[in-house]
């Protein structure tokens, strides 16, 4: 199915994963939705080209990553976030909040390149070849970045608490 219908189906299926990828790259949930919307707008304009791509998911993630990097460069002239009301958290949700906090703190300790490969590999589930295509680097570079990132995460005290190895 092509055209607008194919685009709509793609967005319907991939929206949550793309938003979560943006959050893991360092956006707030609201920023992530805006970022994904901007990236998908770019995809829609060139949807025929996206459809012809060998790997549509890798192509869209490349656009998402480029949009993310562009948004970070223009941060000083962009919109300013406003305060948001905190969500109510029940006692049963504290473990999930602790896990999310520890993962976020750990990802914040990584450099942009390492954080990007971790998100693309373990959240977006892209292969090394797909990641190399998205990032525009050789597969060996992807492997070394991922290896260094996993070493840093293994040594991170934020995650050691969750593993019970403090």
pLDDT digit string, tens, across residues 44-65: 998 888 888 888 899 999 999 9
Is residue 47 within 8 Å of 7, Cβ to Cβ? yes
Long-range contacts of 84-92 (CB under 8 A, 24+ apart): 84/30
Q: What is the pLDDT of residues 16-25, one digit of tens each?
A: 999 999 999 8
Residues of the chain with CATH 1.10.10.10: 88-166
Domain 1-81 has CATH 3.40.1000: no
Mean pLDDT of 37-43: 93
Q: Is the pLDDT of residue 133 over 60?
A: yes
Structure confidence at residue 116 (pLDDT):
92
For 126, the token pair is: 């892209």
Tokens 């300013």, residue located: 80
Mean pLDDT of 131-139: 92
Length of the chain, in residues: 166
Residues of the chain with CATH 1.10.1740: 1-81
Tokens 């969750």, residue located: 162
Q: Is the pLDDT of residue 15 over 90?
A: yes
Mean pLDDT of 81-98: 65
Domain 88-166 has CATH 3.40.190.10: no
How does 24-63 read in b/e, with b if 16+ C-beta sit within 10 Å? bbbbeeebbbbbbebbbeebeeebeebbeeeeebbbbbbb
């Amino acid at each position: 199915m092509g055209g607008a219908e194919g685009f709509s189906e793609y967005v319907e299926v991939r929206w949550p994963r793309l938003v979560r990828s943006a959050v893991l790259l360092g956006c707030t949930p609201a920023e992530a939705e805006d970022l994904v919307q901007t990236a998908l707008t770019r995809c829609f304009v060139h949807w025929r080209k996206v459809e012809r791509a060998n790997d549509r998911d890798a192509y869209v993630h490349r656009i998402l990553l480029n949009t993310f990097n562009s948004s970070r460069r223009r941060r000083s002239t962009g919109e300013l976030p406003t305060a948001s009301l905190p969500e109510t958290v029940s006692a049963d949700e504290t473990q999930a909040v602790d896990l999310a906090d520890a993962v976020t703190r750990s990802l914040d300790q990584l450099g942009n390149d390492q954080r990007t490969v971790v998100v693309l590999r373990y959240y977006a589930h892209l292969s090394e070849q797909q990641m190399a295509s998205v990032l525009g680097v050789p597969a060996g570079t992807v492997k070394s970045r991922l290896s260094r990132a996993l070493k840093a995460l293994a040594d991170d005290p934020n995650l050691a608490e969750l593993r019970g190895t403090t």
